[in-house]
Amino acid sequence: MRALPDLHQSQSCGICTKHADSKRGFSLIELMVVVAIAAILAAIAVPTYQGFVQKSRRASAMNAISAVVQAQERWRSNRNAYANSLEDLALASTTPDGYYRITLAGVGQPPGFVAGYIVNASTVSGTAQAKDLACATMSATVNQAALLYSGTNNLGANNTECWAK
């Protein structure tokens, strides 16, 4: 019985020589398909990731606002009114990460600190968080012992999603 020739090593067969000389690897078309799929996935994933990062940075503003509310209550427990500046409360005017600017204002007409106050956390321009247009400003308003949390987008419209429950 005669053995069949090994086609991968045979150089005599015209069809087989192409197989023996060819190099293993990917074609340009296969590589471009993989690159296109990766680009599509990146186009979907990157904006979603950035949205989650922006939401996580809002926690910094929430913490700063909560610190002001707590400091104001401590201040009021020793005085007849709320403090009228962050300096009185020994608090910084920006969050530790620098993404939000904290401001304090009185309530009422004319604005005063006897009945309450408004503390705002606004995104700082030039930072990555300034692109958070959905929650450009986050606020806490204390008026006659009632605490109200709110948020506004970059156009000033209320956004109930700024303060996650």
DSSP secondary structure string, the chain?
Answer: -PPPP-TTT-SS-HHHHHHHHPPPS--HHHHHHHHHHHHHHHHHHHHHHHHHHHHHHHHHHHHHHHHHHHHHHHHHHHSSS--SSTTTTT--SB-TTSSEEEEEEEETTTTEEEEEEEEEEEEPTTSGGGG--TTSEEEEEEETTEEEEEEE-TTS-B-TTSS--
Q: Is residue 165 part of a domain?
A: no
Per-residue confidence (pLDDT) for residue 145, from 0 to 100: 83
Which of 25-29, 79-83, 149-153 has maximum average pLDDT? 149-153
Q: What is the mean pLDDT of residues 5-32?
A: 65
Model confidence at 161: pLDDT above 70: yes
Q: Is residue 109 part of a domain?
A: yes
Q: Is residue 82 part of a domain?
A: yes
Q: Is residue 51 part of a domain?
A: yes
Q: pLDDT digit string (tens) for 26-77?
A: 889 999 999 999 999 999 988 888 888 888 899 999 999 999 999 999 999 9
| Tally of domains in the chain | 1
Q: What is the mean pLDDT of the chain?
A: 86
Q: Is residue 12 part of a domain?
A: no
- Domain range enclosing 87: 28-152
Q: What is the mean pLDDT of residues 101-121?
A: 89
Model confidence at 164: pLDDT above 90: no
Q: What is the mean pLDDT of residues 124-141?
A: 92
Q: Is residue 21 part of a domain?
A: no
Q: What is the mean pLDDT of residues 108-116?
A: 83
* φ, ψ of residue 32 in degrees (nearest 5): -65, -35
Give the confidence band of 91 by pLDDT, cuts at 50, 70, 90: very high
Q: Examine residue 110 and say whether the peptide bond preceding it is cis (omega within 30 degrees of 0).
A: yes
* Residue percentage of the chain with pLDDT more than 90: 55
Answer whether 83's CB lies under 8 Å from 68's CB: no
Give the confidence band of 24 by pLDDT, cuts at 50, 70, 90: confident
Neighbours of 148 (CB within 10 A): 11
Q: Is residue 22 part of a domain?
A: no
Instruction: Measure the CA–CA gap between 100 and 60, rounded to whole angstroms.
Output: 8
